[in-house]
């Protein structure tokens, strides 16, 4: 509920002088990895999940069928749009009653759709097709799925844009869903209006290989072994956009690491 959400927000901001290391000059180290630490304990716990999310029942062509037809979408870095949806369907915060929902999740796999259309046609044509596809989904939300979209103009609706372009994969986003909540990996506000700190949330890209996230790779190294690989990067470095791509930081990092 909004009230509970406010309480949770205040819990994240308030601290107890008796246990707050920031107010204790004798405590110079704060272990943020320990969920029992009294300073960060409010960040964890089921009491912060006192809200409900309704998942809109859009036709499979907007989600499940895309994932079925394009298996690549399940494991590439944009797979968060699928992972979030699937996890939410079995989450305790999900409600099947839209009247009690605090937020409304829109299950639409935009990056997966755009990838498919890009294979079929040029980039510009694919973006045009994607825009029409998004608008067809919004028409369903505003005309066929009750009053929930129209009553707030989508302010309580959540979209996932798991790529660096964020909502720009939908050319008409500013005219149609600008007030909605975006989950996206790019929080750079200088990139235009695609990220708003008042409502949007930065999420990580998907890493489907459990070895990279479970710590299993550390166990495979012999004790005292010297690592000969400093870092692993998955992504484009030399893009046709040159130094303008990723603001040139990838090229600079590659050059610096090669020197070292």
What DSSP line would sit under 152-179, residue for residue?
A: HTTTTEEEE--STTGGGGSTTHHHHTTT
pLDDT digits (tens, 9 = 90+) for 8-54: 333 333 334 343 333 343 344 445 455 555 555 555 566 677 899 99
CA distance 256 to 245: 17
Q: What is the pLDDT of residue 8?
A: 37
- Return the structure tokens found at 2: 């909004």
Angle between helices 80-89 and 110-120 (to 10 degrees): 140
Q: What is the pLDDT of residue 36?
A: 57
Q: What is the pLDDT of residue 1?
A: 41
Which residue from 74, 178, 58 is spatially nearest to 107, judged by alpha carbons? 58
Exposed, middle or buried: residue 122 (CB in 10 Å: 0-12, 13-18, 19+)?
exposed
Using 50 as the pLDDT threshold, list the residues of the chain that sit under it.
1-30, 32
pLDDT digits (tens, 9 = 90+) for 141-155: 999 878 999 999 999
> Helices (H), strands (E): how many in the chain?
11, 6
Q: What is the pLDDT of residue 79?
A: 92
CA distance 129 to 112: 13
In this prediction the pTM is 0.74
């Amino acid at each position: 509920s909004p009230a509970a959400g406010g309480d949770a927000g205040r819990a994240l901001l308030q601290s107890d002088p008796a246990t707050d290391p920031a107010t204790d000059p004798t405590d110079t180290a704060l272990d943020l990895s320990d969920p029992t630490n009294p300073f960060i304990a409010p960040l964890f716990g089921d009491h912060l999940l006192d809200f409900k999310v309704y998942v809109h029942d859009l036709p499979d062509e907007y989600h499940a069928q895309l994932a079925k037809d394009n298996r690549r979408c399940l494991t590439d870095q944009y797979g968060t749009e699928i992972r979030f949806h699937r996890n939410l369907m079995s989450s305790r915060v999900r409600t099947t009653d839209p009247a009690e929902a605090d937020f409304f999740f829109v299950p639409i796999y935009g990056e997966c759709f755009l990838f498919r259309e890009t294979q079929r046609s040029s980039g510009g044509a694919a973006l045009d097709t994607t825009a029409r596809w998004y608008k067809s989904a919004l028409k369903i939300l505003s005309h066929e799925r009750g009053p929930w979209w129209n009553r707030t103009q989508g302010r309580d609706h959540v979209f996932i844009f798991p790529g660096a372009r964020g909502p720009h994969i939908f050319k008409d986003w500013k005219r149609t869903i600008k007030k909605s909540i975006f989950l996206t990996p790019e929080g750079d506000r200088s990139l235009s209006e695609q990220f708003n700190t008042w409502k949007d949330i930065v999420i990580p890209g998907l890493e489907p290989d459990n070895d990279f996230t479970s710590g299993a790779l550390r166990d495979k190294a012999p004790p005292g072994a010297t690592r000969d690989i400093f870092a692993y990067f998955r992504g484009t470095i030399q893009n046709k956009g040159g130094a303008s791509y990723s603001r040139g930081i990838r090229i600079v990092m590659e050059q610096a690491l090669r020197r070292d």
